[in-house]
Chain A
Amino acid sequence: MDNFEPKIVAFCCNWCSYAGADLAGTSRMQSPSAIRIIRVMCSGRVSPFFVLKALSVGADGVLVLGCHPGDCHYIEGNYKTMRRVPLLKKMLKQLGIEEERVRLEWVSASEGAKFAEVTSNFTQAIKNLGPSSLAPSKQNSQEARHG
C-alpha cells in the first residue's frame, strides 16, 4: 500500500477554484500530482452523475471545489452543490463506498494556498483510505445498450 498513488478528480469552478488552482501554480506552491483537474463553469454544474461516473471508472477520490457561499458567479449555483453533496455522500455510504472519498470545499480565486492545502490533505486522506473498491468497469450498461 506504500506506493499507492491515488487517482483523484477535482472539479473546479471556472470563476473561483480554477483560478485558485492557477494561482497556486503561478505562485509555485506544491500540489499533489494525484489531482486531475476538470474545469466546469460552476460547482452547481457538477451533477452527482459526474461524481459517480468518476468513481465508476476508477477514481479513488473526487473533490468538488466551488466559490465560497455568497460568492457564486451565478448567484446560487454553489448552494445547490452544498445541498447535493451531503445527500450524495449518504447514498454512497449505502452503496458501500466510503463517504470520505467525496469532498466539497470552497476555494476562491485568491486562495492558491488553500487550493494547495485542500488538495494535499485530501490526497493524504485518500492514501490512508487505500484504493477504491470500484474496479474500473469496462463499459457502463447504457453505452453498451446504445452502441
Chain B
Amino acid sequence: MAKLKIALYWAASCGGCDIATLAIGDKILKLAEAADIVFWPIGMDFKYADVEKMPDQSIDVCLFNGAIRTSENEHIAKLLRAKSKIMIAYGSCAYEGCIPGLSNFYNRQMTFDRVYIETPSTDNPEKIFPQTKVKVPEGELEIPEFYDTVKTLAQTVDVDYFVPGCPPEEKTTWLALEALIEGKLPPKGTVISHSVKALCDECPRTREEKKIKKFYRPYEIIPDPEKCLLEQGLLCYGIATRGGCGALCPQANMPCTGCYGPVEGVVDQGAHFLSALASIIDSNDPEEIQRIIDDIPDPAGTFYRYSLPDSLLRRARIK
C-alpha cells in the first residue's frame, strides 16, 4: 500500500495542538511507517509555494489546527482544502474557535487598542497599528489582514472530521490517526472521541444531589477530592461537555472547563451549560436566585470559553 500523505497546519492557535500530535509517543513510529508528512510549518521546512505546486487532492489527510483569524489563515485553509482528500479540524480552535475566539467579545479596533496601546508594557506614543501594506525604501511590504471576527474552520471550508480538545488528548489523537491509517473512517462530520456522552459519565467522583446555594471560583475553596465538583459549587462544565479525555481535570481537583465541546447532537454548548447550571440553583425566590447568579462573574466567557465563534450568536454585538 502506498504511504499516506499527511499535512499539518497551524492557523490562529497556540502551538499546543502541534505538540499534542507528538504526544502520541512511540506510536509516532507507526505513523511514520504508514504516512509521509508533506507539509508541517512548525516541524519541517516547507514553503507555501511547495503546497501551491501540489496537484489538487494529492494530500490524503490534512490535520488543521487553529481558528481563522487572518486572511493568511483563510488562504491556507482554502489551499489545503483544495489539495487534501480529507480535512480534519484538529483541536478546539479549528473545531469551535476556542481561546482565540474569545476576541469575538470585541472587534478588531478594540483588540488593536488593547494590544498596541493599552497594555502596560507597551510604549507606542505615535499610535502605530499594523497596516496590511507599507512602503519601505526596498518596495512595498504586505502582511495578512486581521479580521474583525474569528471563525471556525468549518465556517470557512468544508470539513470532514472534528477532533475535540484543547489540546486533544493523546488517545483521542490516536483514535483519529488509527482510523486514517487503517482506512476505517467514520461518517463525514463525526466528532472523533471515545465518548458521545457527557464527561460525568467517565468522571470517578461520587454524585448525589445537585442543589447549589452558592457558586465558588476555584481559588476560593479547596474542594473535597471525592465529591462531584459541581455539587460543591464549582462551575464544572462536565455536564455539558463531551467525554473522551478521561475526566483528567476533575481528577486533579479542578473543574472541567469544557474543551471537548458539546455532547453529540448539541448545538451551542454554552446555552446548554447555562440551562443545566441554572436549573440546579437551590432557590425559588427571585431575589435569592439573583444573589446566587451574582457569584458567577463572567457567564458568557465561562459558558463560551471554547465555543463563542461556533455558538448561535458567534460574537458579541459591539455598539
Residues of A within 8 A of B (CB): 47-49, 52-53, 55-56, 69, 79-80, 82-84, 86-88, 90-91, 94-97, 133-134, 137, 140-147
Contacts of A96 in B (CB 8 A): 316-319
The answer to whether B313 and A52 touch across the interface, beta carbons within 8 angstroms, is: yes
19 extra interface residue pairs, beta carbon distance < 8 Å, beyond A49-B267, A95-B317? A47-B272, A48-B271, A56-B312, A56-B313, A69-B284, A83-B278, A84-B275, A88-B278, A91-B270, A91-B274, A95-B315, A96-B316, A134-B317, A141-B155, A142-B267, A142-B310, A145-B154, A145-B162, A147-B189
Distance of A110 Cα from B309 Cα, bound (Å):
44
CB distance from A106 to the nearest CB of B (A): 11
Q: Do B152 and A141 touch across chains, with their CB atoms under 8 A apart?
A: yes
16 sample A-B contacts, Cβ–Cβ < 8 Å, listed by A number = A48-B271, A49-B268, A69-B284, A80-B279, A87-B278, A94-B316, A95-B105, A95-B315, A96-B316, A96-B317, A134-B317, A137-B312, A140-B312, A142-B268, A142-B310, A145-B162
**C-alpha spacing A35/B154, complex, angstroms:** 35
- Report, nearest first, the 10 A-B pairs whose CB atoms are least far apart: A96-B317, A94-B300, A49-B271, A84-B278, A142-B267, A83-B278, A91-B299, A133-B317, A96-B316, A56-B312
Describe A's contact surface by its main secondary structure: helix
Query: Which of B284, B303, B319 interacts with A91 by CB under 8 Å?
Result: B303
Q: Does B83 contact A (CB under 8 A)?
A: no
Contact yes or no, A137 B314, CB < 8 A: yes
A52-B271, A141-B152, A147-B189 are known contacts. Are A83 and B279 too (CB-CB below 8 A)? Answer: yes
Pick from B274, B286, B314: contact of A87, CB below 8 A.
Answer: B274
Looking at the assembled complex, report how far the CB atom of A43 sits from the nearest CB atom of chain B, in whole angstroms: 12
Q: How far is the CA of A55 from the CA of B314 in the complex (A)?
A: 12
- Report how far A87 CA is from B271 CA in the complex, Å: 10
Say whether, besides A94-B301, A144-B155, A82 and B284 are in contact (CB < 8 Å): yes
CB neighbours of B131 from chain A (8 A)? none
On whether the beta carbons of A144 and B301 are closer than 8 Å, the reply is no
The answer to whether B50 has its CB under 8 Å from any CB of chain A is no
Residue B117 is within 8 A (CB to CB) of chain A in the complex: no
Given A83-B281, A95-B316, A140-B267, decide whether A47 and B300 contact each other with a Cβ distance below 8 A.
no
Nearest CB of chain B from residue A17's CB, rounded to whole Å: 18
Which of chain A's residues have a CB closer than 8 A to the CB of B283?
83
Question: Would A146 and B268 be within 8 Å (CB), given that A79-B284, A137-B314 are in contact?
Answer: no
B163 → chain A closest CB, angstroms: 14
Bound-state CA distance A55–B268 (Å) is: 14
The CA-CA distance from A53 to B312 in the complex, in Å, is 7
Please, which residues of chain B bring their CB within 8 A of the CB of A140? 267, 312
Pair B312/A87 contact, Cβ less than 8 Å: no
Partner of A84, one of B152, B274, B314: B274
Residues of chain B within 8 A of A48, CB atoms compared:
271, 274-275, 278
**B277 at the A interface (CB under 8 A):** yes
Provide the bound-state CA to CA distance between A142 and B271, in Å.
14
Q: Which residue of B lies closest to A85 (CB)?
A: B278
- C-alpha spacing A82/B159, complex, angstroms: 39
Asked whether B123 is an interface residue with its Cβ less than 8 Å from the other chain, the reply is no
User: A84-B275, A137-B314, A140-B312 are known contacts. Are A90 and B268 too (CB-CB below 8 A)?
Assistant: no
Residues in B255-312 with C-beta less than 8 Å from chain A:
267-268, 270-272, 274-275, 277-279, 281, 283-284, 286, 289-290, 293, 296, 298-301, 303, 309-312
A91 to B318, CA, bound (A): 14
Cα–Cα, bound, A27→B272 (Å):
38
With both chains docked as a complex, state the minimum distance between the C-beta of A62 and any C-beta of chain B, in angstroms: 13
In angstroms, Cα B154 to Cα A97, docked, is 26
Chain A minimum-CB-distance residue to B270: A91
Known A-B contacts A48-B271, A84-B274; the reply to A94 vs B317 at CB < 8 A is no
A57 to B267 CA separation, bound complex (whole angstroms):
15
